[in-house]
């Protein structure tokens, strides 16, 4: 039995959809289905009822889910201790977050909570949206910090993983300015010349958001692919070097815009608002996690 099979099963227990769970686990649907069957063969019982839509856990699957969550959580904890990341047993609140939010939002948000609660210990895993969901489902983190938008649904069962909307952010196209402070690459300018495009990987959350904007505005033909990266900080660095235009979360470029090193490369129609949401598992959580969650809920008007 492989631990990946357990994590696959936990992802399926959240989405109850093989294709969405396979996407969250970043594997093909055929490979995902094969791994679920392998787990059922190892357990010796059918865990998933495939005769209904959406799929449902069988009674054996419901029973096995709790054991799988506990086992995966203990394995992740043991690994963290072996790597020296938890030197003692005092409470540490584990977060999984998108790279951008870990850098641009998390530090100030935590500082605001500590002003009310006093200092607390945190551990951050900055990664992509698929791994964030995996960590939350497997119990490898206590809280997940992600962007959210209805047109790019996150494969999370909100009945088991409730969320708080902490703030709003906006993704918009930016580029370096010319000598007169105007955008070097302007989506509003007339002309047929293609604009150098710095883009996210298609499987990233921001990549999917930008894909919707580009399709909605019918500008795909105007964008000339130059560079692809899943991390907004990498695209920001390329934009600052005048390599092209990139869609960036507003929270990640406030300083660069204020200093005039980046400017908007298009008007409001090329932008899109997003929620910043905090997720937790309803069925588990330490006292420290519950205290932080309650404080975050009370203080939403501050953000």
Per-residue pLDDT tens digits for 15-67: 788 888 888 787 888 889 989 998 998 888 899 988 877 788 899 988 888 88
Measured over the CA atoms of residue 296, residue 300, residue 301 and residue 303, the dihedral's sign is positive
Counted domains in the chain: 2
Answer for the pair 199, 239: CB distance below 8 angstroms, yes or no: no
CATH of the domain at 48: 1.10.10.10
Q: Where are the beta strands (DSSP E) in 77-190?
A: 93-98, 122-127, 143-148, 163-175
CATH of the domain at 264: 3.40.190.10
pLDDT tens per residue across span 121-174? 898 988 888 888 888 887 788 999 999 988 876 667 777 888 999 999 999 999
Q: Which CA distances in Å does 9 have to 57, 86, 134, 159, 246?
A: 10, 27, 11, 18, 37
> Tokens 């030197």 — which residue?
87
- Domain containing residue 199: 169-274
Q: Are 76 and 173 in the same domain?
A: no
Give residues with Cβ within 8 angstroms of 168, minimum separation 6.
273, 274, 275, 276
The last residue of one of the domains, among 82, 99, 127, is: 82
């Amino acid at each position: 039995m492989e631990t990946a099979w357990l994590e696959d099963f936990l992802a399926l227990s959240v989405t109850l959809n093989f294709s969405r769970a396979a996407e969250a686990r970043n594997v093909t649907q055929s490979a995902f289905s094969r791994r679920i069957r392998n787990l059922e063969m190892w357990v010796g019982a059918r865990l998933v009822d495939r005769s209904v839509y959406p799929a449902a856990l069988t009674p054996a699957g419901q029973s096995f889910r709790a054991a799988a969550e506990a086992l995966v959580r203990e394995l992740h904890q043991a690994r963290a201790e072996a790597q020296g990341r938890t030197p003692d047993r005092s409470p540490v609140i584990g977060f999984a977050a998108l790279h951008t939010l870990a850098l641009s939002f998390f530090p100030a948000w935590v500082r605001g909570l500590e002003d009310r609660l006093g200092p607390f210990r945190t551990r951050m895993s900055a990664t992509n949206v698929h791994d964030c969901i995996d960590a939350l489902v497997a119990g490898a983190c206590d809280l997940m910090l992600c962007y959210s938008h209805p047109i790019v649904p996150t494969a999370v069962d909100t009945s088991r993983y409730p969320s708080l909307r902490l703030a709003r952010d906006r993704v918009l196209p930016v580029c370096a300015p010319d000598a007169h402070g105007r955008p070097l690459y302007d989506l509003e300018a007339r002309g047929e010349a293609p604009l150098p495009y710095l883009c996210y990987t298609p499987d990233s959350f921001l990549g999917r958001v930008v894909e919707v904007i580009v399709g909605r505005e019918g500008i795909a033909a105007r964008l000339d692919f130059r560079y692809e990266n899943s991390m907004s900080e990498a695209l920001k660095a390329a934009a600052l070097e005048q390599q092209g235009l990139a869609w960036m979360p507003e929270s990640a470029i406030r300083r660069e815009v204020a200093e005039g090193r980046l400017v908007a490369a298009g008007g409001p129609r090329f932008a899109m608002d997003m929620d910043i949401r905090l997720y937790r598992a309803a069925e588990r959580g330490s006292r420290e996690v519950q205290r932080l969650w309650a404080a975050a809920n009370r203080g939403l008007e501050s953000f």
